[in-house]
Amino acid sequence: MSLPLVDVSTGPVDTHCPYCSLQCGMTITARPEAEGGGYEVDGANFPTNRGALCEKGRSSVELLAHPDRLTTPLVRDHRDEPFREATWDEALDRVVAGLTVARERFGPDAAGLFGGGGLTNEKAYQAGKFVRVALGSASIDYNGRFCMSSAAAASNKAFGIDRGMPFPLADVARADTVMLVGSNPADTMPPAMRWFAAGRERGARHLVVDPRYTATAAAADVHLQPVPGTDLALANGLLHLAIKHRLVDTAYVADRTTGWDAVRRAMRQYWPDRVERITGVPVRVMERAVRMLAESRATMILSARGAEQHAKGSDTALAWINLALALGLPGRPFSGWATVTGQGNGQGGREHGQKADQLPGYRMLADPAARAHVAGVWGVDPDELPRPGVSAYEMLDRLGTPGGVRALMVVASNVVVSAPRAAHVRERLQALDFLVVSDMFLSETAELADVVLPCAQWAEEEGTMTNLEGRVLRRRRAARPPEGVRSDLEVLAELADRLGRGAFFSDDPRTVFDELRRASSGGKADYAGISYERIEAERGVFWPCPDDEHEGTPRLFRDRFATPDGRARFHVVHHRAAAESPDDEYPYRLTTGRSRAHYQSGTQTRRTKALLDAEAEPAVEIHPDLAARLGVAEGGDVLLRTRRGTARMRARLSREIRPDTVFAPFHWAGEQTINALTNPALDPASRMPEFKVCAVALEAATTTTEEVPGV
């Protein structure tokens, strides 16, 4: 049976989708009990989606009354025993005891928190403050480290600031040429495609860089199909051609950048024939692409996870930024380089303290001035704040080991499915002395916990989110959570109180946001001038917005960059092979990504009937020539094997992928957990794992599920 929901509005409620970084506007309306109750959802005329919703957004309200919904805390007395229901008092007492024992036995850093990119700004801020003030620990990071961290590192190096899109999404429709690098918005964020379609209607030309011939590539004028992991060489090759054909905007380079001469000299190594051998992209295609980019009045280069989720992802993003700067794009009207954020609050989630090295406002934890400012807002001594901790995968890799976290809180994340080398991560979670998970459903990670806390969903809470444009918007409550369910904001405040630090915390979203505004004031991600009232009146406010009189900043870099001298920085970056290359034992390349009907670890979408009807199970995409060599038929089972584990999926034969590469989505669990195979090799700057390429062996599966090794 569905759970009863209590409407708290007097009519339709305008809020935002719980899924991707578009944060599409939607209107939720309660149906009368005479009509069966429940909720209806419609697209709202918000600037990012203008009334459109994808199938995930349209089906989102189904989860509010889902029969699998957690509505009471769960505990177990021993790891080998099943869960039993508990009161909130018992559950929170156990959490406090688990965290306290770890701190007392192993030091403050032995207690930690792993957060999620879908948390509101208020909850992300509270999570970072809770770990540092209530626990006194350095051990916090979040799954956004697996998303946009490489692009963030590159943007900070080149521009002095990290905001995914330095212009509104609608500007895409006004660009004459757009190149998408490792991005497939036709499947991952369909409402965004209306801006690309509007551009094409007025004559814009589009290019797509992707090892697969995706739905986005099918709508483009030019498809560049590189070997996975060679995007950096491709960007350098295009820059070599721009220099050769005198397409560089020399006046812009002289007036607005620094470091060009070193980059220009380094590009001599990337002559076209060499780049073709590395990438597989023909010289004639590169020649056409660079002329399209350079000879356009308004040009955008949009990067995403396909190029960035590599052990050289930050250098790859810098290579595309180098090309954009050489062509004079950043700061020009309807032009520039941007990265397309994936997670719902991937932008705001990292700005306000969930990353191991950052404080609110995108301040750095190692900076004495930043520590002093934030400590002053929090009312603590700066010396009480811990030093920077380790990144997301490094934290997970060390769970339960000497010097690692021994008691962990996981909030709104399902790392058993989403982390690289997922089977190893499962083992590390099982090695913990204590694990508590806060979630709406009993996820694969929650199944391993000692305590599970039922949390409120998106439509049951108030707060703010920051979308892919840097637009801060309001999430409004349309329903009360079921009885027995609490918000994460309330839980963190209550835990802090039980730890003797309650005076520093509030469970009221508006109070927390107002404190966030003060903590971010003067930082790169300055929210000081953004209030709930302004967001309401202006349909979102772009940061930085340093005071109440400031209009916000929809477009960055018009006059200067956020560097001390106002100039953007070129950086010399060189191609290097993927951390793992094909060999005799593992002869092919595996790349991973999202599918149209599902999202992230699938905790929500795998419970949604409409989405399961659209895509009930994952499929590995294989070129027919490779399938013939392997003896694999359409729909047949395939066993995938890497140095880290195995997975089993059915085959989908497609000529839209390279014959040396296979693609699989990462939304499924169990024997279909593709991240059990992926490589945790880390980018040295961003600490991003190499999700997007590893060496894999494939064979037609003839064993039963129980016989699959490593599952």
Structural domains in the chain plus CATH codes: 6-65 (2.20.25.90), 74-146+345-541 (3.40.50.740), 149-339 (3.40.228.10), 588-707 (2.40.40.20)
Residue listed under structure tokens 């009189």: 549
| pLDDT score, position 348 | 87
DSSP conformation class of 3: P
Tokens of 252: 């812009």
Answer whether 680's CB lies under 8 Å from 420's CB: yes
Going by their DSSP bridges, the two strands 434-439 and 407-411 should be labelled as parallel
| pLDDT score, position 31 | 83
Answer whether 599's CB lies under 8 Å from 711's CB: no
Distance CA 635, CA 94 (A): 47
Q: Would you give the distance in Å from CA 553 to the centre of its chain?
A: 23
Cβ-in-10-Å burial (0-12, 13-18, 19+) of 519 comes to: buried
pLDDT along the chain (711 residues), means of 10: 48 92 94 80 94 94 92 95 97 98 98 95 97 98 91 96 95 98 94 96 97 95 97 98 98 98 98 98 98 96 93 97 98 96 86 93 96 98 97 97 97 95 97 98 97 95 96 93 95 98 97 98 97 95 97 97 98 97 96 91 90 93 96 96 96 94 94 95 95 96 52 35
Residue listed under structure tokens 């405040």: 493
Question: What are the b/e assignments for 389-404, b being 16+ CB within 10 Å?
Answer: bbbbbbbbbbbbeeeb
Q: Would you give the distance in Å from CA 125 to the centre of its chain?
A: 17
Going by their DSSP bridges, the two strands 6-7 and 479-480 should be labelled as antiparallel
Bond preceding residue 368 cis, omega within 30 of 0 = no
Residue type, 628: A
Q: What is the 3-state secondary structure (H, E, C) of 475-488?
A: ECCCEECCCCCECH
| pLDDT score, position 6 | 45
Tokens of 509: 């979203």
| pLDDT score, position 705 | 44
Adjacency order of strands within the sheet including 111-115? 84-85, 74-75, 451-454, 434-439, 407-411, 111-115, 140-142
User: Per DSSP, what are the bridge partners of residue 224?
Assistant: 209
How far CA 48 is from CA of 175, 386, 578, 701, in Å, comes to 16, 39, 35, 44
3-class state of residue 542 by DSSP: strand
Tokens of 110: 């032995």
Residue type, 213: Y
Q: Which residues does 175 contact at the CB level (< 8 Å), separation at least 6?
A: 199, 204, 296, 298, 299, 300, 334, 335
Answer whether 187's CB lies under 8 Å from 215's CB: yes
Residue listed under structure tokens 């521009």: 159
